[in-house]
Amino acid sequence: MNLDRAVISFAGVMVLVSLALTYFLSPYWLLLTLFIGVNLLQAGFTGFCPAAWAFKKIGIRAGHAFR
């Protein structure tokens, strides 16, 4: 798995977890979904993604999007 796929997979899992928490616990968990969306939008414009940085630190090889 390369860095691009790891970041996209992580974002997808986090959105699904956030939606499950919203459904079962509280609608305030939608704030996590909002944060994920804003972070993805910011990463698209700036090229900086905290998740990509963390995955690089643990040794996942770079893909094409995050170098």
Q: Is the pLDDT of residue 14 over 90?
A: yes
At 29-50, the pLDDT tens digits run: 999 999 999 999 998 899 888 9
Angle between helices 3-24 and 50-57 (to 10 degrees): 120
Confidence at residue 58, expressed as pLDDT on a 0 to 100 scale: 93
Q: What is the pTM of this model?
A: 0.81
Phi, psi for 26 (deg, rounded to 5): -160, 145
pLDDT-derived band at 13, boundaries 50, 70, 90: very high
Q: Which residue has the tokens 């910011």?
A: 42
Percent of the chain with pLDDT over 90: 66
Percent of the chain with pLDDT over 70: 96
